[in-house]
Amino acid sequence: MAFLSSRRRRARLAPELDDQELGKLLKSLMATTRTGTIATTDLCVAQMSRLLEQDPGDWDRRTHRMDVLAGYLAGTHLSRAWATREPRNANALVLHAWAQVAQARSQGRLDDSDGTIATCLRAAEIVPEDPTPWVALLAVARLERRDQSQVFGVWNEVLARDRWNREAYLNMLGYLSPEEAGSRIQVLEFVDTLRARMPANAPCAATELTAQVRQYHSILDRGGFEALVARNHWSQAMATHALDRAAHTWGQPGFLRHAKALADLNLLAYALMAAERRAEARAVFEAVGGIVTAWPWETGGDPVTEFDQTRQKATVGV
């Protein structure tokens, strides 16, 4: 990925991160849907189709684009309209299923579980080598707290097609957490196994640090005295080692090359500041530029405001 210049830039939410083609599509979709013309759906479908047909076989980039587009389309009619018009188009089917999952996350339930599952399976049949239908299906299984045997079955289908799929690993991390269908021990075992096998710059490299940030947030959520001393979490051996591994490598130009690398750097900057490692955080903020991800900054309030205020703290005394 191309890192931004070290000059401070105005902070802004950018779900597309540094994917310029995806960013252009999001702006175009916003402008097009505002016109309210009869041809709106046709134009939006054509634009989305062109983008999703690019870079065939780049599953990391495809997963990122599906994830962002689904979040944008959740609650709209566009993905359903496309899937209805082209029932044998794998792009249309996966995007529709993924948009349903995104909508379910916001409302706490999946309206048509059987329909979403069937949509994923049709897409998987049309393009057997594509991992994204299985990633969407994994998200469904997680939402519904399916039995671990079923979830791991879907998980293995993803890995058979895309060994280090970032979205799949984060879904499994959430599913195995004590807040969902697992336990703290299962999270630790999952992260340990991944760390032993994964290349240091794999798309799922942030899984371990994500687990530590989530645990830190769970401490904050308890409130009271525990929340007051939550920063002590980052002095514990596992948290320190996870942060050290990321801090020593991720900020190096060209080290992280996957589609959501800037999201991982946002996470790293957040964790370094939570651990009061300001000097290291400054360099990460420089690499990030002004591109902000909603998570983890939104846990403290408005993400852009939190990012900006934290970035300013990192430069105090410089």
**Domain boundary, last residue among 167, 186, 217:** 167
Number of domains in the chain: 2
User: Containing domain of residue 2, as a range?
Assistant: 1-17+205-318
Distances (CA, A) of 20 to 15, 68, 263: 11, 13, 15
Residues with Cβ within 8 Å of 34's Cβ and at least 6 positions away in sequence, in order, are none
Q: Which tens digits make up the pLDDT trace of 140-158?
A: 999 999 999 999 999 999 9
Q: What is the mean pLDDT of the chain?
A: 93
Same domain? For 123 and 212 the reply is no
- 173: its two tokens: 């991390």
Q: Which tens digits make up the pLDDT trace of 209-263?
A: 999 999 999 999 999 999 999 999 999 999 999 999 999 999 998 999 999 999 9
Instruction: Name the band, by pLDDT with cuts 50, 70 and 90, for residue 25.
Output: very high
Same domain? For 13 and 57 the reply is no
For residue 156, which amino acid is it?
N
Same domain? For 233 and 243 the reply is yes
User: CA 162 to CA 57: how far, in whole Å?
Assistant: 10
Residues with Cβ within 8 Å of 309's Cβ and at least 6 positions away in sequence, in order, are none
**Domain boundary, last residue among 120, 152, 167:** 167
For residue 163, which amino acid is it?
R
Instruction: Name the band, by pLDDT with cuts 50, 70 and 90, for residue 106.
Output: confident
Q: Is residue 117 part of a domain?
A: yes
* Residue 83, domain CATH: 1.25.40
Instruction: Name the band, by pLDDT with cuts 50, 70 and 90, for residue 317.
Output: low
The average pLDDT across 168-172 equals: 98
